[in-house]
Structure 1
Amino acid sequence: MVERRRFEDFEMGEQYETEGRTVTDSDIRQFVGASGSTDPIHVDREYADAHPLVDDVVLQGTLLLGIADGFLVDAIASDAALAMNYGHDEVRYLESVSPGETVHAEIEIVDTEFRNEAWGLVTARVELVNDDGETAVIDVHRLLVATGDNDAV
């Protein structure tokens, strides 16, 4: 059996870099189906080509946030004994990402806060980085993580 990390096992300054993931038109279509987010900048190449801020259709910001969240789960939360999303303190969309680009995450634990005998908060700064090494999304993400005294684990 794999030993899972408790709140006390996480330390400020820990860093992770994930493998890359190439995003696709299919990602956009599936997200549209799930969310109804049909702004033409995401689904209409002719519109996107004429748009002054992008060169192609781009992924929805919240889709990119979801991809960043998946990287966070793989890097940190999946190893925790018991963890749950507590929220996002800051999300910024800095660069657009188009289908065919590969993104990865650079993650750092920036804070740990003991809440009570059962739970603590682990705060991670997640940067979703594009092919050009530019940060596309910043997410300051907080996870509720069980302590060693939590009887639920």
Structure 2
Amino acid sequence: MGYSSVHLFFDDLEVGMSWESGGRTVTESDITNFAGFSGDFNPMHVDHAYAANTAFRRPIAHGFGVFSMASGLGIQSPPVRTIALLSVRTWSFVLPVFIGDTIRVRTRVVEKTLRGRGKRGEVVWNRAIVNQEGKTVQEGQVITLVECRPLAKMNLQPAVAQAGVNGII
């Protein structure tokens, strides 16, 4: 699947623009699948009896699992011609996410830097993952590389016809 006409180029983005994604409800299957994929079987995430005796009283979702879900939500909010995730500048895990919580991603363009002789650019994004109550559960800045609009090709046809009219050949 390639990019479509709705996907924004670097040139379409302006500092200060912001979006909010649709929601995604975190399930027990999400937590189990992330544990299997990552190998992180910390009982805080997967053992209901253990988690019942903690400050949270129930299992919590993996922080990086929530970060990954938010990455997916951010793909369409906004739809951008992203080439690569370059770095995570800062990131904070603020509040736990529980089974049944619905998360959304709030995204804002913070800075833009043209790269690659105008073929791409770096975008710094503020991202906040919020729960169904609007409380921030994770937040920080990520930097992506985004495709620029293709440069217009100049017409380099010799001006022979014009030169011939003026007698300069």
TM-score normalised by the chain length of structure 2: 0.80
Where does residue 158 of structure 2 map in the other structure? none
Where does residue 68 of structure 2 map in the other structure? 66
**Which stretches of structure 1, 4 residues or more, deviate above 3 A after TM superposition?**
none
C-alpha change, 1:150 and 1:40, in structure 2 (3 Å) is: farther
1:11 counterpart = 2:14: yes
Where does residue 131 of structure 2 map in the other structure? 130
Contact preservation (8 Å) 2:80, 2:146: no
Contact preservation (8 Å) 1:65, 1:139: no
Contact preservation (8 Å) 1:20, 1:103: yes
- For 1:107 and 1:34, locate their aligned partners in 2 and report how far apart those are by CA, in whole Å: 27
Question: Which structure carries more relative contact order (alpha carbon 8 Å, separation 6+)?
Answer: 1
Out of 14-23 and 139-148, give the one that drifted further. Answer: 139-148
Encode CA deviations 1:67-125: one digit per residue, 9 max, x unaligned.
1111221213x432x52211211111000011111111111111111123122101111
After TM superposition, give the deviation of residue 131 of structure 1 in Å: 2.0
The letter for the 1-side match of 2:57 is: D
1:75 counterpart = 2:77: yes
C-alpha change, 1:3 and 1:65, in structure 2 (3 Å) is: closer
Contact preservation (8 Å) 1:7, 1:148: yes
RMSD: 1.8
C-alpha change, 1:86 and 1:150, in structure 2 (3 Å) is: farther
- For 1:85 and 1:91, locate their aligned partners in 2 and report how far apart those are by CA, in whole Å: 14
Query: 2:52 is paired with a residue of what secondary structure?
Result: helix
After superposition, residues 78-93 of structure 1 pair within 5 angstroms as 78-80=79-81, 82-93=82-93
Contact preservation (8 Å) 1:40, 1:47: yes
TM-score normalised by the chain length of structure 1: 0.88
Rg larger in 1 or in 2?
Answer: 2
Query: 1:47 is paired with a residue of what secondary structure?
Result: helix
- For 2:122 and 2:34, locate their aligned partners in 1 and report how far apart those are by CA, in whole Å: 30
**Among 34, 51, 61, the residue aligned to 1:48:** 51
- For 1:4 and 1:32, locate their aligned partners in 2 and report how far apart those are by CA, in whole Å: 33
**Among 17, 34, 48, the residue aligned to 2:37:** 34
- Tell me how many residue pairs correspond in the alignment: 148
